[in-house]
Amino acid sequence: MPVARPEPQEPRVIAHVDMDCFYVQVEQRKNPELRGLPTAVVQYNNWKGGGLIAVSYEARKFGVKRSMRGDEAKKVCPDIQLVQVPVARGKADLNSYRSAGSEVVAILSTKGRCERASIDEVYLDLTDAAKSMLSETPPEVLESIPEEALKSKVLGLNSEDDDREKNVREWLFRRHADYQDKLLACGAIIVARLRVKVLEETKFTCSAGIAHNKMLAKLASAMHKPAQQTVVPSSSVMDLLSSLPVKKMKQLGGKLGCSLQIDLGVNTIGDLLNFSEAKLQECYGINTGTWLWKIARGTSGEEVEDRLLPKSHGCGKTFPGPKALKTTASVRSWLNQLCEELSERIQFDLDQNKRVAHTLTLHTNAYKENGVDSQRKFPSKSCPLRYGTAKIQDDAMKLFDSALHDFLSSQNIRWGITSLSISASKISEIPSGTCSILKFFRGENSSSMSSDNSDVLIPESISKSPKNENEGCMAATQSDNVDQPACQEKENENHSNQTVQDKANPAQGIGASQKKLKEKEPYSILKFFPGSESSSTRKRAFGDLNQDHLERNQTEQQEGPSEGCDDATARSNQTAQQHEIWNFNVEDVDPSVIDELPLEIQREVRGWLHSATKRTNMTKRGSSIAHYFSPVKKT
């Protein structure tokens, strides 16, 4: 359910940029002969010419729509060029579209906070850029205004007559406009420049909406397509919303929108004005009620998030009609392929962006034969994500088995799977420096470590908690052509799934590792060591280690027994000697390496180094940090 966010006090300038018929443009760039021709991109399956997923504006003039099959499109537009989506592992391969989207994001993100909302759309917070422009080079002093800015559609401005461009120019230059409109005018110019740059550098056209909040910017970007931009001054907001069908509003396309229509007779956003905030809260709860009350007035406090990368990764495959999967073996085979792709993508994300996904979720659509219990849904299941293709495949299959068990509820009956989708979510960044320092722990590079030692590499406690997980699931599912949004029921499912995994893999399973990862202790470098689970262990380990290096040096220097040396310390020394990875003086520790560590760990290491240096100076002996990089001793 949508939730109202507090309104910022200052006016903002927000843009929503949406690529035009995106997959078609990507294919036209690959094959420029297609430019200007009616073109559509089709799903690879051959049933009735495949399903259209993107349609060029030339083809739309003939009535070609995304919902059509290729054969149908040919009937209404015989010259249409149908391009197959690239295929890998028996399913659509969207990599070329994803990286084309990233090219665009790289350009758009140069002017302000940028949120990648899906494979081909972006929100920008241009408030600061617009303010700077207004104070330094307001529109009226600019030598030239970009053509694209003059072609803007400004809502509420007479756009019918021949003087449209002149009117827009006047609107952009108005000296007596209020501050909010002046900022919007600057925003319009900034966006026009960005769109020109996108076209020059990527050959893609895009459309944009420029307004004071995300909701209005999103509505506006779709109003004049392709390759145009629409500006929403505050004075035009109520007009825009009064006749807007509720279903057109983001977050009202589903059940909530239906309820508004059926239960309250609200068909347009304007109709919402007939209800008090209290009434809306009574019907939909405090948060959603307030959100509805606010959107009816065109206000929305939702922030543009600083996020250039997707919030989740997902890949799916549908098996319509006779293609439904009916055996566990066939499900396993497809799941293996989907997991292989997912594993590659999260590994790439880890290597390139130092981001870690924490949750693996399986969504499935299924039916029981003879229509038995047809209302019962195949439950979605999640579990903590372990890196490495084989582990992901194993876990996905366990999720499937468990969900199938719930779905069948002891009925001995045939079933069919009509779609499978696997996603990796709850993605967070590894604090900078963690990857590089981890190299030293095992003498391996970060990517190979991450595949094999995910439980050690990715403790949850060192990762930033992810923001608002649910958004962005759409991006992953939509772009992968999976019917069911990846975010559905995820929260509810998490607990039960964990139990499933615990049962399925009790000793070294996900549940066990998750327990270890869920420690709520402050960051500690010892978390990287197997066996360093409790604060008492940690304390003892540090005490011992400090003793260890002294003891060891003393032993090495043959200066008699040291104080505080016990059996455990001796064993640890032995282990350290057996695993001699590092061995050098405290003074040799490069401070820049420590600077790379998370702050909490920096403090801990500096504390240790400080006392080690002190003791070293006292004893005038070399020191070793080898103990830190050898397996923690077993007491």
* Residues assigned a catalytic role: 121
Residue of 19, 184, 331, 346 interacting with ligand DCP (CB under 6 A): 19
Residue of 13, 17, 18, 212 interacting with ligand DCP (CB under 6 A): 18
289 SS3 class: helix
Tell me if 284 contacts ligand DCP by CB under 6 A: no
226: preceding bond cis by omega (within 30 degrees): yes
Supply 333's token pair: 């085979």
- Pick the closer one to ligand DCP by CB: 40 or 266: 40
For the CA atoms of 434, 437, 443, 446, what is the dihedral angle to 10 degrees? 30
**Site for ligand DCP, residues 315 to 354, rule: CB under 6 A:** none
- Pick the closer one to ligand DCP by CB: 139 or 485: 485
- Pick the closer one to ligand DCP by CB: 300 or 479: 479
**Site for ligand DCP, residues 146 to 175, rule: CB under 6 A:** none
- Pick the closer one to ligand DCP by CB: 220 or 438: 220
Tell me if 528 contacts ligand DCP by CB under 6 A: no
- Residue 78 phi/psi, 5-degree rounding, is -60, -25
Site string for ligand DCP, 54-93 (x = CB under 6 A): x---------------------------------------
Shortest CB 200 distance to ligand DCP, Å:
20
DSSP string, 591-616: HHHHHTS-HHHHHHHHHHHHHHHHHH
**Site for ligand DCP, residues 214 to 233, rule: CB under 6 A:** 225-226
Tell me if 119 contacts ligand DCP by CB under 6 A: yes
Stretch that binds ligand DCP, among 21-29, 145-153, 181-189, 500-508 (CB under 6 A): 21-29
- Pick the closer one to ligand DCP by CB: 19 or 122: 19
Name the H helices within 31-153. 57-60, 70-76, 95-108, 127-136, 147-150
Count of residues near ligand DCP by CB under 6 A = 15
Shortest CB 520 distance to ligand DCP, Å:
41
List, in sequence order, every residue forming a beta bridge with 359; answer none if it has no partner: 384, 425
DSSP structure class, residue 583:
-
Residues 423 and 342 sit within 8 Å (Cβ to Cβ): yes
Site string for ligand DCP, 180-219 (x = CB under 6 A): ----------------------------------------
Supply 461's token pair: 């406690």
**Site for ligand DCP, residues 426 to 485, rule: CB under 6 A:** 478-479, 481
Question: How far apart are the C-alpha atoms of 349 and 435, rounded to whole Å?
Answer: 13
How many CB atoms sit inside 10 A of residue 253's CB?
12
Residue partners of 548: CB distance under 8 A and separation at least 6: 569, 572, 573, 576, 627
Stretch that binds ligand DCP, among 14-22, 332-340, 440-448, 606-614 (CB under 6 A): 14-22
Query: Distance from CA of residue 191 to its chain's centroid?
Result: 24
Tell me if 22 contacts ligand DCP by CB under 6 A: yes
Residue nearest to ligand DCP (CB): 54
Give how far Cα 235 sits from Cα of 7, 177, 185, 232, 239, Å: 18, 11, 14, 8, 8
Shortest CB 496 distance to ligand DCP, Å:
30
Shortest CB 466 distance to ligand DCP, Å:
24
Residue of 14, 20, 384, 475 interacting with ligand DCP (CB under 6 A): 20
Question: How far apart are the C-alpha atoms of 422 and 443, rounded to whole Å?
Answer: 33
Tell me if 95 contacts ligand DCP by CB under 6 A: no
Question: How far apart are the C-alpha atoms of 224 and 155, rounded to whole Å?
Answer: 11
For β-strands 39-42 and 81-84, DSSP reports them as parallel
For β-strands 121-125 and 113-118, DSSP reports them as antiparallel
- Pick the closer one to ligand DCP by CB: 221 or 290: 221
How many CB atoms sit inside 10 A of residue 146's CB?
18
Interface with ligand DCP by CB under 6 A: which residues? Answer: 18-23, 53-54, 119-120, 225-226, 478-479, 481
